């Protein structure tokens, strides 16, 4: 590997799937201002995910509609027939 091109500031970060509240901890360089207290009692940076392997249909085998931002309602309001 080339020297000097990889980040050096890895730290433990919690990633949380907001659709099903599943969380996991891993090393990352992702920046965030949110924090969470983990099961071990320590506070870690928190990255919020809309979808992860615990909620994605490819991994779960189930179709589940996740509408976190009201996108479906916005689409329907925009394209509904004027009456």
Residue 3 lies in a domain: no
The pLDDT of residue 20:
83
Beta bridge partners of 26: 13
Question: How many C-beta atoms lie closer than 10 Å to residue 38's C-beta?
Answer: 14
pLDDT at 51: 76
pLDDT on residue 59: 57
| In a domain? residue 29 | yes
Sign of the alpha-carbon dihedral angle for 23, 24, 25, 31: negative
Whether residue 1 lies inside any domain: the answer is: no
Residue 5 in domain: no
In a domain, 2, yes or no: no
Give a yes or no: residue 58 inside a domain. yes
pLDDT digits (tens, 9 = 90+) for 22-61: 899 999 999 999 999 999 999 999 999 877 767 666 556 6
Q: Are 47 and 14 within 8 A, CB to CB? A: yes
In the DSSP assignment, the letter for residue 4 is: T
pTM (2 d.p.)? 0.64
Domain holding 53, by residue range, is 11-79
Number of structural domains in the chain: 1
DSSP per-residue codes, 32-60 = -S-EEE-TTS-EEEEEEES--TTT-HHHH
């Amino acid at each position: 590997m080339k020297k000097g091109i990889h980040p050096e500031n890895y730290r433990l970060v919690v990633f949380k799937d907001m659709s099903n509240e599943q969380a996991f901890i891993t090393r990352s360089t992702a920046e965030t201002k949110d924090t969470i207290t983990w099961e071990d009692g320590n506070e870690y940076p928190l990255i919020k995910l809309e979808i992860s392997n615990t909620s994605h249909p490819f991994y779960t085998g189930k179709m589940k509609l996740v509408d976190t931002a009201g996108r479906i309602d916005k689409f329907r309001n925009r394209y509904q027939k004027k009456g």
